[in-house]
Amino acid sequence: DAGVIQSPRHEVTEMGQEVTLRCKPISGHNSLFWYRQTMMRGLELLIYFNNNVPIDDSGMPEDRFSAKMPNASFSTLKIQPSEPRDSAVYFCASSSTTVTDTQYFGPGTRLTVL
């Protein structure tokens, strides 16, 4: 099993640019989560999907952030326009059936907004 796959692993962009982060969950997993990790705020849940449907997006910081899951094997997190305070490591995680099952994290995308 390849585990959760994220791309790109590193992204450096300039303020105002659009950024798209991608995630492929573990095959057969029905729940997908996007987290943001910073030194100041720790690990924050941004949004999670169950069976491709967004269930809770209360952690999405503002309208500049959006997430989609068009099918069971792919999700995107988009930031438009990006700002320096968006610099962080963004993790995608997936779990098998319910949100109380073990979540497996991807390697993360380190985003730097200049």
Partner 1 sequence: GENVEQHPSTLSVQEGDSAVIKCTYSDSASNYFPWYKQELGKRPQLIIDIRSNVGEKKDQRIAVTLNKTAKHFSLHITETQPEDSAVYFCAASRYKYIFGTGTRLKVLA
Total chain residues near partner 1 (CB under 8 A): 17
**Does 109 engage in binding with partner 1 (CB under 8 A)?**
no
Window 64-103: residues binding partner 1 (CB under 8 A):
91, 99-103
Contact mark string toward partner 1, 21..40, x via CB under 8 A: ------------x-------
Around 30, how many Cα atoms within 13 Å sit in the side-chain half-sphere?
A: 9
User: Token pair 């995680």 is at which residue?
Assistant: 93
**Does 107 engage in binding with partner 1 (CB under 8 A)?**
yes
CA distances (Å), origin 9, targets 23, 57, 96: 11, 24, 24
